[in-house]
Every structure is written in structure tokens, then in C-alpha cells.
């Protein structure tokens, strides 16, 4: 009996070189744009806001609650939130949003957040009570890690001194490098949409990546802004939705060993990849906004050699059974209105038929891009072909038209080794 007792003690006290970490279950949310009911109450101001944005506050709160319940039911170990937590930086929204997180944390879920461009130092934050919107208190860069201390900052392995970037541990073999890419110090009248990585923050991150390589630790990244283009000419037509000098930043980080970055900001569900000069591949895993169609969140399984991504969509909430259909139509209408306005701003003298063809084309492409894994139906193909004909583009080939960059957007396995 004594020898068996000694053998059991050896099992407990001597580490095995063949121990394999258990898979980690990760959930990702982005662009929640939470607006606290304390500063958004029924009345003309809120009604006008909901009409302009297409967001019904009651529906959105129900979507958030259902999403958090589903994430917990899935056995999630870690929840990542990639910025734009609040509607427009309201302090009350930040405070009340943390009240959604504390119960999850108390039941064992770890939570890591990073700010977005709508979260800090917002000069035009508003409360929607009564007849007209009124100024609402925002928060400073100093207050953000105080409010969200339990959700990343207090337990960080390392904090950046130049920004709100930090390093967290997922497990003994994996770190999470959380980048603050926002420009809130530049906010004067409203938020700045574009993002960048400060030179000192980049040096800080590269030092971490060097140390991780020496320790054979895998590093995953998280930031609000996209680090890789997700559609043709995104940096040209939507410069505020991707990092400044994105090719340089992506190339530097890919060469340093960063393989995956979780992002948001563009409100689309899309995954794209960047191949650096040394054939290093960097994946930008962008998660769409939980505040609009198609209400996505991601569930990820991380093991020692790979990362498997699955995507879920909220289909219904109490009182709104056809959530997807309702908000697809609303989103389509808002996008169409925005496309018309943007075309008008270009000053290009389109003929009426060319303008209408382009409006329908761009509206359709945008709606498809929101959900990911874009498949062009016959109506879309007709719109593309019609626009090419109106523009007298003799070289246009519908068979070579590429809307969605590889790889797949909603279900994907990425090898880490």
C-alpha cells in the first residue's frame, strides 16, 4: 500500500512534460453601443433617436440580455469585448453596462474589454429624456480603466504607459495583447472615427511579442479598429474604419509573430487575412455590431494548436419574433439613404439611371457584407451588370468580380502552429 501512496504523491507533485492545456472557450462581442435606460426614456427625444439610427432600445436591451445568457450557457471561459461598449461615451451607460458583466464574472467568467472610438472623452454625449436631447456626462481616459478595472486592467500582466493598451493571460501558453487604437485626445466637437497605434505602443507590443517568442507563448491580439482591409478599396473609401498605415502595422506585427487580431468598428462580420513579406499570415477577425442587423456574436474554441471560430445570430427576442427580417429592412433603408447622400457629396455628375443603379448596388453589397460569407444572388448580379453597362465598362467581367476576401467569415479553423 505504501508504494501506491508514494506513486500517487508523485503524480501530484511532479509536473508532467506531456501536460496538454484544456481547450479554452472564448466569446466575442463588439460595438454594443449600450444606452442606459437611466438616460433614455420614452419621449420625443428618444423617438427621434430611434428613428434616425434604426435602433429600438427595448429590442437592443433584450438582444444584449439574450446574447449574454447564450454565451454563459455555452460554457464560455472568457468574454472579449472589442470596443464601442456605449452608445456615445455616456458615463451612465458605462456604469450600467458593468452591472451586466459583474454577475457573469461572479459565476466564473473572465472578461476583457478594450475601448472604441465611442467610449472616451465624447464632447457630444447625449441623454434622451423629454422633448429634446440634453448633454450627458462622458468619461475621461483615466476613468475608463477605473470603471472597467475588473474586466482586464486590474489583472493585466503589463500596462502600456502611452495608451490604454494592456497584456492579459488567457492560459499558461497564450497571451492576449489588447491594443488601444483610439484618438480620444483629439476629440473636440465629436469622436474621431479613425484609429492608429502610437509608435511607443507599437514598441511596447513588439517587446511583448519578442518575449512571447522566447517563451514559446502564442499571442492573440484585440483592438477596435480593423488592421487589414475587409473589402476592395476599404482604406480609400472608408479610411476611418481601418488603422492609419494599416499595411505597415499589419506587416510589422505579422513579422513579429502575431497571427490573429479580434476587431470590430465596421459593424460587419468578416474575416480577412494579410500575408507579410516573410509569408507570415495575420488574420483580422472582425465581429459585427450587436446593436444592428444581423446581431452577431462569436464563439471560439482555442486549443494548443488551433483556434476554431463559430458565429451565432440572435433571431428573436420577446415581442419581436422576426428580428432578422425587421432589422434587415431597417438597415437597408438607412444604408440606402446614406449611399445617396455620399454620392451627392462626391459631385460626380451621374446620369439618373447610373446613380440609381449604383445606389442599389452599394446598398446591396453593404447589407451582404454585414453578415459575412457574401453570396451574390441573381438580383445582385443584375445590379452589378446593369451598373457596368451604364458606365460603358467594356472590360467588366461579372465572373471575376470579387466581393468577399478569403477566408470564410462565419465558421473557420485557424492553425496556430
Backbone angles phi, psi at 112, to 5 degrees: -125, 125
CATH assignment of 24-317+409-415, among 3.40.47.10, 3.40.50.2300, 3.10.20.90, 3.60.21.10: 3.60.21.10
Query: What span, in angstroms and rounded, lies between the C-alpha atoms of 40 and 44?
Result: 11
pLDDT at 18 over 50: no
DSSP symbol at 287:
-
- What is the chain's alpha carbon radius of gyration, rounded to the nearest angstrom? 23
The rounded distance, in Å, linking the Cα atoms of 261 and 274 is: 11
| pLDDT at position 19 over 50 | no
Task: Return the pLDDT at 401.
Answer: 65
> Model confidence over 83-122: pLDDT tens digits?
999 999 999 999 999 999 999 999 999 999 999 999 999 9
More confident residue, 15 or 229: 229
Q: Transcribe 95-145 into DSSP letters.
A: HHHHHHHHHHHHTT-EEEE---TTSSS-TT-EEB-SSS-EE-----TTHHH
170 by Cβ neighbours in 10 Å (0-12 / 13-18 / 19+) ranks as: buried
Q: Does 8 have pLDDT greater than 70? A: no
Q: What cell does 409 get?
A: 467569415
Provide the pLDDT confidence category of residue 396 given band limits of 50, 70 and 90. low
Total number of residues shown for the chain:
417
Alpha-helical regions (H) of 143-277: 143-147, 199-215, 234-237, 246-255
Tally of CA atoms within 13 A in the half-sphere of 73 that contains its CB: 6
> 42-80 b/e with 16+ CB inside 10 Å = b?
eeebbeebbeebbbbbebbbbbbebbbeebbeeebbbbb
What is the average pLDDT score of the chain? 90
24-28, 252-256, 354-358: the lowest-pLDDT one? 354-358
Stated as kind and residue range, the H or E segment containing 328 is: helix 323-346
Determine the Cα–Cα distance for residues 222 and 132; give it in Å rounded to an integer: 37
pLDDT of residue 223: 99
- At 410, list the grid cell: 462565419
| Average confidence (pLDDT) over 235-245 | 85
Helix (H) or strand (E) holding 401: none
DSSP-based three-state secondary structure for 372? coil
In angstroms, the CA 30 to CA 191 distance is 18
401-404 own/partner pairs: CB under 8 Å, 24+ apart = 401/376, 402/232, 403/231, 403/365, 403/368, 403/369, 403/374, 403/376, 404/231, 404/270, 404/369, 404/372, 404/373, 404/374
Among 171-175, 297-301, 333-337, 349-353, the minimum mean pLDDT is found in 349-353
Residue with cell 461572479: 106
Q: Assess whether pLDDT exceeds 60 at residue 6.
A: no
pTM for the predicted model, two decimal places: 0.91
Mean pLDDT of 126-147: 98
| Residue 2: predicted pLDDT | 40
In 3D space, the residue among 399, 294, 368 whose CA is nearest the CA of residue 63 turns out to be 294
The three three-digit cell numbers of residue 119, written as one number: 467610449
* Stronger pLDDT, 379 or 251, i.e. the higher one: 251
- In the structure, what pLDDT confidence band is assigned to residue 14 with cuts at 50, 70 and 90? very low
- Going from N- to C-terminal start, the domains of the chain cover 24-317+409-415, 323-400
* Chain segment 37-54, per-residue pLDDT in tens: 999 999 999 999 999 999
Residue listed under C-alpha cell 479610411: 239
Provide, rounded to the nearest whole percent, the portion of the chain with pLDDT above 70: 91
Amino acid at each position: 500500500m505504501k508504494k501506491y501512496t508514494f506513486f500517487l504523491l508523485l503524480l501530484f507533485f511532479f509536473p508532467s512534460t506531456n501536460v496538454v492545456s484544456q481547450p479554452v472557450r472564448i466569446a466575442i462581442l463588439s460595438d454594443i453601443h449600450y444606452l442606459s435606460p437611466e438616460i433614455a426614456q420614452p419621449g420625443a427625444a428618444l423617438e427621434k433617436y430611434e428613428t434616425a439610427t434604426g435602433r429600438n432600445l427595448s429590442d437592443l436591451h433584450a438582444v444584449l440580455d439574450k446574447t449574454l445568457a447564450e454565451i454563459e450557457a455555452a460554457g464560455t471561459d472568457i468574454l472579449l469585448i472589442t470596443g464601442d461598449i456605449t452608445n456615445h461615451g455616456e458615463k451612465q451607460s458605462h456604469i450600467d453596462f458593468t452591472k451586466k458583466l459583474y454577475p457573469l464574472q461572479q459565476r466564473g467568467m473572465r472578461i476583457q474589454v478594450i475601448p472604441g472610438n465611442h467610449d472616451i472623452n465624447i464632447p457630444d454625449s447625449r441623454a434622451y429624456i423629454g422633448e429634446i436631447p440634453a448633454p450627458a456626462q462622458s468619461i475621461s481616459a483615466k476613468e475608463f480603466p477605473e470603471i472597467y478595472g475588473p474586466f482586464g486592467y486590474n489583472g493585466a500582466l503589463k500596462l502600456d504607459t502611452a495608451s490604454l493598451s494592456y497584456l492579459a493571460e488567457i492560459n499558461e501558453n497564450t497571451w492576449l495583447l489588447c491594443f488601444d487604437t483610439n484618438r480620444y485626445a483629439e476629440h473636440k466637437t465629436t469622436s474621431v472615427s479613425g484609429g492608429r497605434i502610437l509608435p511607443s505602443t507599437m514598441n511596447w507590443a513588439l517587446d511583448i511579442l519578442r518575449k512571447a517568442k522566447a517563451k514559446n507563448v502564442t499571442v492573440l491580439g484585440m483592438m477596435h479598429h480593423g488592421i487589414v482591409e475587409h473589402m476592395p478599396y476599404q482604406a480609400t473609401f472608408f479610411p476611418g474604419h481601418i488603422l492609419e498605415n494599416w499595411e505597415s502595422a499589419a506587416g510589422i506585427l505579422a513579422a513579429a509573430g502575431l497571427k490573429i487580431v479580434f476587431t470590430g468598428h465596421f459593424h460587419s462580420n468578416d474575416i480577412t487575412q494579410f500575408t507579410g513579406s516573410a509569408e507570415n499570415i495575420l488574420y483580422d477577425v472582425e465581429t459585427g455590431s450587436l446593436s444592428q442587423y444581423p446581431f452577431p456574436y462569436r464563439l471560439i474554441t482555442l486549443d494548443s494548436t488551433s483556434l476554431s471560430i463559430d458565429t451565432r445570430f440572435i433571431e428573436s427576442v420577446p415581442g419581436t419574433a422576426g428580428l432578422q427580417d425587421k432589422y434587415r429592412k431597417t438597415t437597408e433603408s438607412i444604408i440606402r439613404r446614406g449611399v445617396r447622400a455620399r454620392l451627392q457629396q462626391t459631385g460626380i455628375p451621374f446620369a439618373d439611371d447610373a446613380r440609381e443603379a449604383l445606389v442599389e448596388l452599394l446598398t446591396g453589397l453593404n447589407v451582404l457584407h454585414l453578415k459575412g460569407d457574401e453570396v451574390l444572388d441573381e438580383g445582385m448580379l443584375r445590379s452589378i451588370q446593369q451598373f457596368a453597362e451604364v458606365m460603358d465598362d467594356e472590360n467588366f467581367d461579372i465572373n471575376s468580380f470579387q466581393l468577399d476576401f478569403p477566408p470564410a467569415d462565419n465558421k473557420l479553423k485557424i492553425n496556430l502552429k
